[in-house]
Amino acid sequence: MDYVTQLQKQLVDYTASLFHEKFLDEQFNQLQQLQDESNPDFVVEVVSLFFEDSERLLNELGKVLEQQIIDYRKVDAHVHQLKGSSSRFSLGTRFFHGSIGAQRVQSVCITFRNYCEEKNIEGCLKCLQQVKHEYSLVKSKLDTLFKLEKQLVAAGGSIPTYVV
């Protein structure tokens, strides 16, 4: 098997695992379809923006929770937004389908909002940690994916399309 074919196989297998573990889903396919010569970096751009936006949101959440007097409505609003945007890369659905035993972002968000209602600062902080962990997990998976793609292209190969 030549080097390019090897890289290609590595990429396909890795992407398959991300779909299988529900880190990625149909929406990712949609994004790939929008990528073409006039928009060669579309997927990487969208994913980067997603993590930048999410990081900002998580930092804001952290700050609000550090205040002497916590505005729980603000916390709740941020978590509401997190819950919505996290479904974008199936961060939530992968845990609804109960595949991997780790943190569940969407159900964590529900728990998070309950803690807000109860004004339970410790509960909120714990949830925040869980969500941060989940995001960094997905981010590193996608970073690996993009690195593999780059390697393949640099070696002269082209990225195969995936059918799930």
Partner 1 sequence: MAQAIGSASQRASGFGSGGLPRNGGSAKGSGSSNRPRMTWKNNLNALVVDNERFSQHVEKGILRNFGVETEAVETGEAAVELIASGATFNLIFIDISLPAMDGPRTAMQIRAMGVQSKIIGLSSSLTEEDEEEFLRAGVDKCIEKPLTTAWLVPVLRELDGQI
* Binding residues for partner 1 (CB under 8 A): 8, 12, 15-16, 19-20, 27, 29-42, 45-47, 49-50, 52-53, 80-81, 83-85, 87-88, 149, 152-153, 157-164
CB of 139 to partner 1, least distance (A): 13
Residue 156 carries which DSSP code? Answer: T
One-letter identity of residue 122: E
Q: Which residue has the tokens 């990225």?
A: 159
Closest CB to partner 1 among residues 80, 126? 80
CB of 69 to partner 1, least distance (A): 23
Q: How far is CA 114 from CA 76, 122, 124, in A?
A: 9, 12, 9
Closest CB to partner 1 among residues 6, 27? 27
Closest CB to partner 1 among residues 2, 122? 2
Give the span between the Cα atoms of 93 and 107, in whole angstroms. Answer: 10
Closest CB to partner 1 among residues 128, 157? 157
Nearest to 95 by CA among 108, 111, 112, 76: 108
